[in-house]
Structure formats: structure tokens, C-alpha cells
Amino acid sequence: MSMFWVVFSTQSISLLGSQIVQFSLVWWLTKASGSASVLAVASIMALLPQVFISPIAGALVDRWNRRLIMIATDSLVAMMVVILAILYALGLVQIWHIYALMFFRSIGGAFQFPAMQASISLMVKKESLSRVAGINQALNGMVSIIAPAIGALLFELWPLQNVLMIDISTAAIAMLVLGLTRIPQPRRASGEAVKNSLYSDISDGVRYLLGWRGGLYLILMAMLVNLFFVPAFSLTAILVSKFFGGEVLQYALLESTVGIGMVIGGVGLGVWGGFKSKVKTMVLALTVAGLGSIVIGVLPPSAFLLAVACFFVVGLMLPFTNGSMFALLQTLIPPELQGRVITIVIAITSAMAPIGLSVAGPVSDVLGVQIWFIVGGSVMVFLGIASFFIPSIRDMERVSEGNLPK
């Protein structure tokens, strides 16, 4: 656990730097273009590598040293940010440069996220996974509070190339600590000869999922949420600018409010641990978040403060939804398979978001972003209610590990 907290804290510092830069770049794109389609393309660039690279990345995570993977991905992202900072300093930056940075940042994330998630179950006791997931969500929420506030302030005070240097500095801290820390490896990665091909490893992950009906339903739910809900929150900057008539401070307020909700929800999950059934915790939170999203979509432009309250509700529910889902995966999937199975799940579910965004951008330019909050929220409410009537989801945790696919 001591190793986990050291790695976790420094990765969180790196996340803070990345989110400050991400906020500043999104608002720069919003002011430079005023187009939902431009933000949609930026979000697609940030998601595509998750779709195409994640399955391969997961298999490699199960083969390679996970600590070195995290160091290498931090290095890649830092290098790309340096290039972008130089372009800004020279006055040569263009919108497609932002797209490129988000694309390469996503490539790094396709390796970084599964490497970290697959390492958690080897550093944390199984009975503590839900609480650690809650603390993780809470800390992500704290980052979501602090990053927009800092990003909004620095956006007004500094040239963007100076803001970009924050990401580089925090990544360097994370890399330094990773270089000095030992992270446990699953038995296969730490010494056994790797005889299977990469294709065989990926196939093992696919076969595992195909034999796990509850897992397939879980993937379907996540696919639908990403298809209809992710576009809404990816276009929040346009909602603030075009619908509510706000500026960077109003955008920062909405983003920070989501973070406040995530902190409170994450601390709640970390202390409480959720219901005995992680599935029950997940689907109830999904339903409430969906209701909050619907309200955001039907509000008039004069009701910005009520929108802030609804964003808080959605943020509050996210740790209970996401934390419970990952605790389920970490509990039920064997450690030696977690890298490839989790990344296959990420790839399949993430594939839906670019599809949704490709439609959401042009439609939002015509009908407004709020329509996606209504549609996405309605889908979440339906899935949350329907889950109670699907035995493979409702009773997922009652299946003994001996009956899960191997």
C-alpha cells in the first residue's frame, strides 16, 4: 500500500498539470473557432487511439514492465507539449496542432491507464479496492476543481506557452518517482517465458469477455453511455459560450462544480464503500446522473445557477458509477488478464464516443448542445432502471470466481 500511495500521489500531480493545460487548450479552441464541430473533432482526436491501440496496449501491459510503460508514456506526452509550447512562442500554432497533441496524449493514455489500473490490484488488498477506487475518484474530482480555476486564471495572465510548461514540470515529477519506485508485476511478467503471440494474448482477453455474459452487458451499457452522453459533456464549453452567454470564468465554474461533486462522491465511496452490491451502487448512481443531465438540457438560458447545481449532481454520481465499475473489473478479472481485458473494454466502449461526437458537433451547431444532455440523460436513466431486470447484471457478483471464464 505504501508503494501505491507514492505512485498514486505523484501520478495525481501529473494529472493536475495535464488538466490545467487541457482546460486552457479547450477554451482557446472555443474562442478561436466558436464551433461545436471543432471541439467535437478535438474530442475525437483524444479518443481514437483508445479505440485502435488499447487492445494491443493491454496485451503489452500484461507482457512488459508496467513501471517502464508509465515512464515512457509520460515522456511521450511531455515531448509533444514541449513542441506545442515552441509553436506558440513562435506564433505558428494552428488548430490542427492542438488536434495532434490530443491525439498523441491519447496514445500515451492508452498505455498509461491500463498499466496503472492493472497494477492497483497487485498493490491493494481486494477488500480495499472499492475504497481505493472511491479515493481515486475523489482525487480526480479535486483535480477537476483546482485545474479549471488555475487554468482560467493563467489563461488570462500568461501566454499559453507558459501554461504548457506546467504539464511538462508535473510529468517530470511523476517520471522521477516512478524511476525510484518498485511496482509489483504479475507472475508471468516478472519471470516466466512469454510463449504466446501478441495475437494469442489479445484473443485470450476476447475469449474471457465472450464467456462472461455479465461483462458483455456491462460493456453494452458503457457503449450506449459513451455514444449519447460523452458528446454532451465534451461540448460544455460551447454550452457556456453560446447558450448561457458565459466566458472563461463561467466555464471554469461549471467544470469545478463537477469536480466538487466528484470529490464529495469519491470521499463518500472511499469511506462508505458503497452498497454491498457494487452493481447496485453503480446503476443507482447512473440513474441519478441521467436525471441531472436531462434537467440541464431543458433549462432556459437564464437558469445558469440551476445548471451549476445539476452539474454538481452529475459529478457527485460519477465516482459511484465509475469507481464501482472498475472495482468490479478488478475484483472479478484475474490479475494476469486485467491489462488486456480492461483495455479491450476501453477500446470497445470508447469507439462509441467518436461516433457520437461526429454527429453531435454538426447537430449542436444547428440545434444547440442542450439536446445531447437530454438524449444522453434519458439513455442513462433507461439503462439504470433496466439493469435491475437483467439477471446477468443484477447478480454478477453472486457468480463464484470458479464459474467465471478462464
- In this prediction, residue 195 carries a pLDDT of 52
| CATH number given to 2-187+196-403 | 1.20.1250.20
Query: In the chain, what are the domain boundaries?
Result: 2-187+196-403
CA distance 217 to 219: 5
pLDDT tens track for 32-54: 888 888 888 888 888 787 778 87
Residue 207 contacts residue 405 (beta carbons within 8 Å): yes
Q: Could you give the count of Cα atoms lying within 13 Å of 120 in the half-sphere of its Cβ? A: 27
Using CB atoms within 10 A of its CB, is residue 156 exposed (0-12), middle (13-18) or buried (19+)?
exposed
- In this prediction, residue 286 carries a pLDDT of 96
Using CB atoms within 10 A of its CB, is residue 126 exposed (0-12), middle (13-18) or buried (19+)?
exposed
Residue 25 contacts residue 101 (beta carbons within 8 Å): yes
pLDDT tens track for 172-226: 888 888 888 777 776 654 444 455 666 777 788 888 888 888 888 888 998 999 8
CA distance 67 to 118: 11
**With bands split at pLDDT 50, 70 and 90, how would you rate the model's confidence at 308?**
very high
| Predicted confidence (pLDDT) at residue 82 exceeds the cutoff of 80 | yes
In Å, how far are 33, 188, 288, 322 from 30, measured between CA atoms?
6, 47, 29, 28
Mean pLDDT of the chain: 84
* 367: amino acid identity, one letter: L
- Looking at mean pLDDT, say which of 113-122, 130-139, 207-216 comes out highest: 207-216
Lowest mean pLDDT among 7-11, 105-109, 246-250: 7-11
CA distance 309 to 299: 12
Angle of the 335-350 helix axis to the 36-52 helix axis, nearest 10: 150
- In this prediction, residue 405 carries a pLDDT of 47
Nearest alpha-carbon partner for 356 in 174, 192, 226, 182 = 226
Using CB atoms within 10 A of its CB, is residue 271 exposed (0-12), middle (13-18) or buried (19+)?
exposed
Residue 205 contacts residue 337 (beta carbons within 8 Å): yes
Mean pLDDT across the stretch 91-98? Answer: 90
| Predicted confidence (pLDDT) at residue 388 exceeds the cutoff of 80 | yes
CA distance 132 to 108: 23
In degrees to the nearest 10, what's the CA dihedral of 191, 193, 198, 201?
Answer: -80
Angle at 31 between CA 28 and CA 32, to 5 degrees: 80
**With bands split at pLDDT 50, 70 and 90, how would you rate the model's confidence at 392?**
confident
* 385: amino acid identity, one letter: I
DSSP state of 303: -
- In this prediction, residue 54 carries a pLDDT of 73
CA distance 220 to 376: 15
**Alpha carbon 404 to its chain's center:** 27
- 3-state SS, residue 87: helix
- In this prediction, residue 406 carries a pLDDT of 45
**With bands split at pLDDT 50, 70 and 90, how would you rate the model's confidence at 289?**
very high
